[in-house]
Structure 1
Amino acid sequence: MEAIRNKTPRKGSWRAALHKLRRFAWSGGALMPARAGTPRADDTVRSWLEQTVGTVDFLAHVDRDLRFLYVSDASLRFIGYHRGYLHTLTLRDLIPEQDTATLDGLLARASETGDIEKATLCLVKSLTYPLDVEVRAVRSRHHGVDGFAIAAFDVSSWRAIEARLTYELHHDPMTGLDNLSALLPALMRAQQTADEGGGCTALILLDLDDYQRINRALGYDAGDALLRDTAQRLQRLATRGERLARVASDKFAVVLSAPTRVAAIDAAEALARQLQTAVQQPYAYGGQAVHLSASAGIAIYPDARAASKHAQHHSPLLRRADRALAQAKSAGGNALAFHQPTDDPADAERLKLEADLYNGVRNGEFSLHFQPITKSHTGAVVGVEALIRWHHPVLGLVAPATFIPLAESIGLINYLGNWVLKAACMQLVSWDRQGIALQYVAVNVSPQQFRDPRFTQSVRDAIKLTGIDPCRIVLEITESLLMHDPNHAKTLLEEVTELGIRFAVDDFGTGYSSLAYLQSFPLAKLKIDRSFVENLLTSRNDRAIVSAVVGLAQTLKLELVAEGVETEAQRTLLTEMGCNHIQGWLVCQALPSEELAQRFEAQELYLHEIA
């Protein structure tokens, strides 16, 4: 620790010592002799120099043959040699054989540049103890003899701490196994070796199934103890040529190599099965038997597609093995799966689309299209549904079915949902100014948006921003959203309904809501899912479902809208069955606001007149 604390001042000390030593040597001044009997410098010079060199562990002057011309008293105490004995040695005699090349390189650089050069090597103390020292050397002359001024200080403590920190950086403190930081370079080297030698590398990821139940049931001490036991079991199975690591809380990894792809597959599967079997053996903790299982995912490098090409060692093998592990987990656990290379392009495309989606939000690439909702028996328009569209600069119009789930997964859906609500309300107000007075605009609300604590406030913000009458806003939610947490949904619906907002259940009939629940929710509309309308003319089951929904809506006094109406025959049958509102391509596809306004101006669409 002393070496570390004194690192900064020592640096200045050895530099000053070297310069003073060099200065007196070049001037021919008498320094402390390396031989007994040589005249000493006067006390003033000696005191002045010793004050400087005393803060440096080792300071000496050597000739070209590395014989000592000068050694400070402090240096003699540091290395544990008598001055007379040191006279029989050279600097090279104090250096272990494995470090002589380092010393020679240091002195060669000092000779060539004339500057102070440095290197870290070992110095043997008292003929026995090796010390790590950092050495500085500079070309110099002593009493007309060419040589080198040498300064060194002990870095053994620092190197020991460095070694300990390096170990801790690359090892898991609980199990003593390599960690992810150590595994990644090993994995890279194994792949490089496979590239150069034509072999293959396999990566096994082993994850303990539902391990959190151990922590919940027995406590974290038990969980840690069983993890250590698991690590020992796996270590006994991993051979010398296989690298075992703990890469996450309950996840382990093994890297192995084989001469061929077939051999790698066989070896990886055999080892993975052995590891799973080891985990399945009963554990004991606190007198209680504990049973575990593990899932395994395996990836091979190079993969099947790259087997005939020059493989790239930067291939994301860890990610592929993780995907295989997820597949094994999805099979119910205690399973094994190999990565399938055909999955990679889809993942890469998804990642690219995620980045594009963020850019799309920043660049304003989203717009609204509006689809009319009409009276089924007259065709008069009562309202519109606002539908978000993404105009990708390269891909063109991206389907909502593609980007909506993506936005949900990366946390953008709330932002987009709030934007749609405000933009739809603003458009309704804009149409009012053009004389197109629609009764309402319907806006879809995602489950994430609905459960956001700020949802009610975002609705208030939209009303305040646009000045719209709240009763002209219809928020569409799904059955599954209502049934996820009925009590919370009921509370939130009542809270927002008090603002004057109306709610519609979208895609009705595809969920599992009951009449009792529907009666308890403050709803205004039901929308029959398009899947029941599509085969309405040919499927008795679909007709029966639609008939039941019509009866339910009439009983609950809810307005009913049929989605996906594309033919006149569908419209006629729905009207006869008692469905008073329709939406679909028969009336009009979803259009930008300007085009929809043009349809009204051309009288291709007309408004429903309220009596």
Structure 2
Amino acid sequence: MAELIPRDNHPAVLAALREALESPGLPSRVNARLNTPTVALWMELQVSAYRNEAGHAELLVVGRDISGQLATEERLRHMATHDALTGLPNRSLLSDRIRMSISQARRTGRGFAILALDLDGFKKVNDALGHPVGDALLRIAASRLAETLRHVDTLARVGGDEFVAVLPGAVSEPEIQMIGRRMISTMQLPFEIDGHTLYVGCSIGGAVFPEHGDSEVKLLAHADAAMYRAKETGKARCVVYNHARFTQPEHDVSMEAAMFQAVRDGEFLLHYQPIVDARTRQIMGFEALMRWNRPGQGMVSPAQFIPMAESNGLINLLGAWAMKAACVQIKRFEEIAGRPLYVSVNVSPRQFRNDQFIDVVDEALALSGLDGEKLLLEITEGILMADPEHAESLLTAMTARRLKIAIDDFGTGYSSLAYLKRFPIATLKIDRAFIKDLPSSVKDVAICNVMLSLASHLNLNTVAEGVEKEEQMDFLAAHGCSMIQGFLTGRPLMPSDAAALLKAQAAAETAAHQIG
């Protein structure tokens, strides 16, 4: 005989039957699981009661098999909360788990730890052997890492070769280091994939609630900062976040806390400084410059918050937002101008080292519909020379997408010019230090002439920064500088003001064309 078991609890079916008996003619519904010797089915039952000719109550039960529907719903729930490649929780489910851990920790007084993990050397494997091998490696790595954890812990894949673990009750550095060593050890074992014996490592950063952050954003950023410190200091290490080593001096602590709040409240914004043709003064593009409008204090200097964001890990989040926002905005500017424009976006050292950086660029281009040729990424000489092999690989991927690369603050960093030959550079941005005393300074004249001549012979564009005087503009235009940027031709502008400037220039160009 089959057993009728309610989906939630036994009284549910009994209550439905009782309601049907007490109210003849009114149907009642209940979901139930029907267990037979061979199979379990989920059934939706509609129960109706009525009086027969003898005055006795009788039941009419109509059932519908909803096993397939519930199975589909469960698959969709799983797909929405789990990574398709590894089967681990995804960023959405991770966020829920962290919030639950925070709530539980506040009730019980027992903290928990967050570990940010990044595979060392995965990108080289992926680039050399292709994505199928890379995907297989990630699946094996996910399985190995999960086996090192307890059943109460959560391991999530948050993108690329990045994972995050949530460890309830683990709050001391020795505990975190012990877990980290287990993870690092299991990742140092060889990976046998498609006839290849592969080796990758693992760098880990840890942060503890509430000592290292009282919110999800802070904990993840601080664990990420510690993980990057592990990479920078030798890789295959576990580093636990420490306020004294990782943050700015004491007087900046309040600003750091305000930064995390600013991310949540959307206080960061972009201004756009025009970049103009040195001869015609036509706007060719804009440099996107990040600003922070701090409530009650006005605009905070980027010189204050950018280094702090680089230190505490927020720069990856802010940089990704800025990349997408700038690409979307420049498309709107193109519609106003009625012609192509380009946008120049600064890339910090930490962003450049992030294995997911190229994915951020791809997302920005896909979201905006901007042509890759219209995105100019500004990097410094130091970024290139810190890790030339990584730089060459990443720049090659960029140029494959037709992105343009500019060297920012040219002439103020490494003295070697070998990178101009080695790397696919499109533009040199001449630092304002060499512009401010033009044309009266004999030395600055000589230096600028050399830079402009070098760029011309290498077929590179040049942008002179910090141009504030007409005589500087005249000198640079006469000596072959391609473009100008500075207060003379335009200060950084809000998007609405930049749009108004474009409209005015477009109207002037139309009028000149009609007169001509």
TM-score normalised by L of structure 2: 0.49
State the structure with more CA Rg.
1
TM-score normalised by L of structure 1: 0.42
